[in-house]
């Protein structure tokens, strides 16, 4: 008798899912999807697609998932997207399928709850505060006497994250706070095809009142941690935690906004320091209570130790899946699916096989993208692993504080760090973006 084909329900997809879903179908998986405004690509590669904003009404989301499960029994539920991990955990619990406990998923989504949890677990933690007003932030900055970081309480990719110092006036802080609030408020309008990036669940479904927060009103203010930033992706399978390798991160220098610029793997740290990062991240993942999912963790390293910045209950975004595949030989998509199906996944001894570097394309100015030059020539170069774009001609592009998105990224490989670096420097300069300046309002010309 033939083995039953695993049937997975995905909550939301980002980008074109066809490349990885085609590969996973060949390995014996079937897929259904719940997504707000599914694309043509989604409809082509999923067996069943439900056009539904899963954030709008969680009870209805559970009912839709239960109906799919009755008609075509599901083996697991997951989301590879930050905004879908809580909904996926709620659906998995509702259907009696493997997954993270919903409150663990929430702790990995709500930065204030995460800080509380890590502090209670005895992990090194900067001073942190839940804040709502500019005068409160100003008073805390004066009391600290050193720079601090203001973050939306949810979200990803450093959207809206800004550095503040005791030298900022209350008026300046109020302006920064309003800029970020406006960005959060306007996000659904500017991105109508996507779920709300900063969404947090309402009360109910087992989430107590004290864990309910507003993404537009509540912010995290925490001490600025100096040092070099790194990320680490891995697998949580009960008590077995697999760390899949450390990635070094470079952010834009000389800016109060924490925009990421470049990544490379392996790092320049050496095995002993990387092992120290893995030990701290393992403690953090266990403290948050993640039981069955991929995870993505970002840390800062300085002479005082390893400090966890954030842990997400999903795979790392953008280039990270490709880095893990090329350098470590791990398909993070397949690993996530197998975890969601209840399978045991554990890799105790992984070794790098090559070197990778990636750099984001950041908008030099706000305006309208007219053209991208150099795509075909760069794509043909055998050193290129990924060349991805988030925008198309005709799209508006914004610089901080109005916008925090990237134009895309270029990822290359080499046998040595020096080869990868040389390839990136050469090929990156061959891509050119032509941006028409944003129109100046008539009132501004008077």
CB 215 within 8 A of CB 197: no
Q: What confidence tens digit (pLDDT) does each residue in 230-252 have?
A: 999 999 999 999 999 999 998 87
**Best CA proximity match to 280, nearest among 121, 153, 107:** 121
CB 181 within 8 A of CB 153: no
Give strand ranges (E) for 268-354: 292-302, 305-312
Residues of the chain with CATH 3.40.50.20: 7-97
Residue 254 has what pLDDT?
Answer: 66
Q: What confidence tens digit (pLDDT) does each residue in 199-240 have?
A: 999 988 989 999 999 999 999 999 999 999 999 999 999 999
3-state secondary structure of 142: helix
CATH number of 355-442: 3.30.470.20
> Using 50, 70 and 90 to split pLDDT, how confident is the model at 50?
very high
Residues of the chain with CATH 3.30.1490.20: 127-224
CB 352 within 8 A of CB 329: no
**Best CA proximity match to 159, nearest among 405, 398, 399:** 405
3-state secondary structure of 3: coil
Residue 441 has what pLDDT?
Answer: 46
With tokens 């949580």, the residue in question is: 236
Residue 256 has what pLDDT?
Answer: 67
| Strands across the sheet containing 396-397 | 396-397, 367-373, 432-437
Q: Is the pLDDT of residue 2 over 60?
A: no
Q: What confidence tens digit (pLDDT) does each residue in 287-312 have?
A: 999 999 999 999 999 999 999 999 99
Interatomic CA distance for residues 408 and 17, integer angstroms: 17
Q: What confidence tens digit (pLDDT) does each residue in 6-48 have?
A: 999 999 998 889 989 999 999 999 999 999 999 999 999 999 9
Residues of the chain with CATH 3.30.470.20: 102-119+227-353, 355-442
Q: What confidence tens digit (pLDDT) does each residue in 379-403 have?
A: 999 999 999 998 889 888 887 777 7
Q: Is the pLDDT of residue 150 over 50?
A: yes
CATH number of 102-119+227-353: 3.30.470.20
CB 246 within 8 A of CB 231: yes
Residue 120 has what pLDDT?
Answer: 97
> Using 50, 70 and 90 to split pLDDT, how confident is the model at 442?
very low
DSSP summary character for residue 397: E
**Best CA proximity match to 296, nearest among 108, 111, 88, 20:** 108
Q: Say what the alpha-carbon torsion angle 413, 417, 421, 424 is, to the nearest 10 degrees.
A: 10
> Using 50, 70 and 90 to split pLDDT, how confident is the model at 342?
very high
CATH topology of domain 7-97: Rossmann fold (3.40.50)
Interatomic CA distance for residues 148 and 146, integer angstroms: 7
CATH class of 127-224: alpha beta
Tell me the CA distances in angstroms from 358 to 68, 190, 250, 312, 439, one per residue in order.
39, 27, 10, 21, 33
Q: Is the pLDDT of residue 74 over 60?
A: yes
């Amino acid at each position: 008798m033939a083995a039953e084909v695993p049937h997975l329900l995905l909550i939301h997809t980002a980008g074109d899912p066809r490349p990885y879903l085609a590969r996973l179908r060949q390995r014996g998986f079937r897929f259904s999807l719940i997504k707000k405004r599914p694309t043509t690509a989604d409809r082509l590669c999923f067996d069943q697609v439900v056009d539904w904003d899963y954030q709008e009404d969680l009870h209805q989301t559970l009912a839709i998932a239960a109906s799919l499960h009755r008609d075509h029994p599901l083996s697991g539920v997951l989301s590879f997207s930050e905004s879908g991990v809580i909904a996926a955990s709620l659906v998995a619990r509702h259907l009696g399928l493997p997954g993270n406990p919903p409150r663990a998923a929430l702790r990995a989504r709500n930065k204030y709850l995460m800080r509380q949890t890590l502090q209670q677990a005895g992990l090194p933690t900067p001073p942190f505060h839940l804040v709502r007003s500019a005068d409160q932030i100003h008073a805390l900055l004066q009391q600290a006497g050193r720079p601090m970081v203001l973050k939306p309480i949810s979200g990803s990719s450093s959207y809206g994250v800004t550095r503040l110092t005791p030298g900022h006036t209350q008026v300046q802080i109020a302006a920064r706070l309003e800029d970020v609030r406006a960005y959060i408020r306007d996000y659904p309008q500017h991105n109508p095809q996507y779920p709300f990036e900063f969404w947090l669940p309402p009360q109910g479904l087992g989430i107590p009142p004290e864990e309910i927060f507003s993404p537009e009103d509540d912010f995290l203010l925490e001490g600025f941690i100096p040092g070099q930033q790194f990320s680490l992706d891995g697998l949580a399978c009960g008590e077995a935690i697999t760390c899949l390798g450390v990635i070094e991160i470079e952010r834009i220098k000389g800016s109060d906004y924490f925009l990421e610029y470049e990544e490379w793997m392996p790092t320049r740290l050496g095995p002993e320091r990387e092992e120290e990062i893995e030990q701290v991240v393992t403690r953090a993942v266990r403290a948050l209570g993640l039981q069955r999912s991929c995870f993505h963790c970002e840390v800062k390293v300085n002479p005082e130790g390893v400090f966890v910045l954030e842990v997400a209950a999903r795979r790392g975004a953008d280039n990270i899946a490709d880095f893990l595949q090329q350098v470590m030989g791990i398909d993070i998509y397949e690993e996530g699916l197998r975890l969601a199906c209840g399978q045991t996944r554990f890799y105790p001894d992984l070794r790098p096989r090559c070197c990778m570097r990636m750099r984001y394309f950041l908008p030099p100015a706000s305006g309208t993208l007219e053209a991208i030059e150099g795509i075909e020539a760069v794509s043909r170069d055998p050193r290129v692993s990924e060349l991805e774009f988030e925008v198309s001609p005709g799209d508006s592009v914004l610089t901080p504080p109005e916008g925090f998105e990237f134009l895309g990224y270029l990822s290359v490989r080499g046998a040595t760090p020096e080869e990868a670096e040389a390839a990136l420097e050469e090929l990156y300069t061959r891509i050119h973006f032509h941006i028409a300046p944003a129109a100046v309002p008539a009132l501004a010309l008077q």
